Amino acid sequence: MKILGMGNALVDVLALIEDDKILEDMCLPKGSMQLIDSEKMSNLNVAIANMEKVIACGGSASNTITALSRLGIETGFIGKTGNDFYGDYFEKDLQKSGAVAHLTQVDAISGVAIALISKDGERTFGTYLGAAADLKPEDLRTDVFAKYDYLYIEGYLMQNYDLLKTALQKAKDLGLKIILDLASYNVVEENRSFLLAIIPDYVDIVFANEEESRALLNLPVADALEKLSEQCDLVIIKEGSKGSSIRQKDKTISILTYRIPRIDTTGAGDMYAAGFLYGLLSGLSFETAGKIGNYLAECVIQVVGAKLTDDKWEEAKQTIQKISANN
């Protein structure tokens, strides 16, 4: 089984902040993802100039796809980058993971997401989409979609309804299973009507966290699981340190997690999705898939950024083999 990801091709610039005053100064609600213009991007760059920073490839769908590729799943990624340093950096990172890069390069500035990481590990994004926002319906090639079995879409693409509708219809026409990760509570709030329209018609699997599911349905987790399971085949709601809940039809499985110190929550949801989908595509039970998802999320919150080092991946794969063996 092969998974094709589609999302904003971004490079993350992660900065550890001493306090949350910079969030107030830049009008960035803590824990949110806000789209910013070039002027605000410049102001943010000045504000973090003297802070400790890490640069890594990002973008929600890209994070999930590269993690799946590391785990041995055949993957590809559709996105758009600029013909610049960040664009080349992004493509090389995809290729290093083993994912196939279905990228369109244009003469523009590549997308950059500045992640401000608070002392409690919470991350707040100011995202300048740049070339990533220029991904168009005509960039979506049928022959690329036809090579895959699943389409994984990040909710951060909600700025382009025509693009999403084209991708969803193309995937459905070709018989691909469609996976949607809701991405961020504020994105859900701003695009609630559109999401409520597309989920029943197109989506087979939904990933959300507690805040996102509440923003979509204004319901507690248990009721949101029931409601969404009436509209698609499989629903996964992540509840942070409380674990996650998985529902198919009228059956709900709860997966507990461990309370561990967190340095940075960037990519936790993306890694959970990768772990769960790895288990699903490997024919493991939902419970085992959820445990693998929890485990990868726990791994990534103990480092800065959404990526694990090569050594950490080798260690993670050994642990995942042990979890899978107990399926």
Query: pLDDT, tens digit, for every residue of 134-153?
Result: 999 999 999 999 999 999 99
Provide DSSP, 218-237: S--HHHHHHHHHTTSSEEEE
**Which H or E run includes 295?**
helix 286-300
Would you state the pLDDT for residue 260? Answer: 66
For residue 305, give the DSSP letter.
S
Instruction: List 5's β-bridge partners, or say none.
Output: 77, 152
- Whether residue 189 contacts residue 214, with contact meaning beta carbons closer than 8 Å, is answered with no
Q: How far apart are CA 247 and CA 154, in angstroms?
A: 20
Tell me the domain boundaries of the chain.
2-8+60-109+134-325
CA distances from 260 to 12, 19, 54, 284 (A): 24, 22, 22, 26
Q: Which CATH number fits domain 2-8+60-109+134-325: 3.40.50.300, 3.40.1190.20, 1.20.58.340, 2.30.42.10?
A: 3.40.1190.20
Q: Specify the length of the chain in residues.
A: 327
Burial of 122 (0-12, 13-18, 19+ CB in 10 A): middle
Q: How far apart are CA 312 and CA 291, in angstroms?
A: 18
Residue with tokens 């609630």: 192
- Nearest CA among 123, 109, 115 for reference residue 38: 109
Query: pLDDT, tens digit, for every residue of 203-244?
Result: 999 999 999 999 999 999 999 999 999 999 999 999 887 889
What's the whole-model pTM score? Answer: 0.88
Name the residue type at position 105: Q
Residue with tokens 């197109």: 202
Angle between helices 286-300 and 310-325 (to 10 degrees): 160
Would you state the pLDDT for residue 157? Answer: 92
For residue 285, give the DSSP letter.
-
Would you state the pLDDT for residue 259? Answer: 64
Three-state SS at 326: coil
- Low-confidence residues of the chain: pLDDT under 50: none
Direct distance between the N- and C-terminal alpha carbons of the chain, in angstroms, rounded to an integer: 20
Burial of 87 (0-12, 13-18, 19+ CB in 10 A): buried
Which structure tokens are listed for 27?
Answer: 């009008």
Instruction: List 105's β-bridge partners, or say none.
Output: 81
- Whether residue 111 contacts residue 127, with contact meaning beta carbons closer than 8 Å, is answered with yes
Would you state the pLDDT for residue 123? Answer: 82
Q: How far apart are CA 276 and CA 35, in angstroms?
A: 28
Which structure tokens are listed for 172?
Answer: 């459905």
- Nearest CA among 237, 78, 83, 66 for reference residue 164: 78
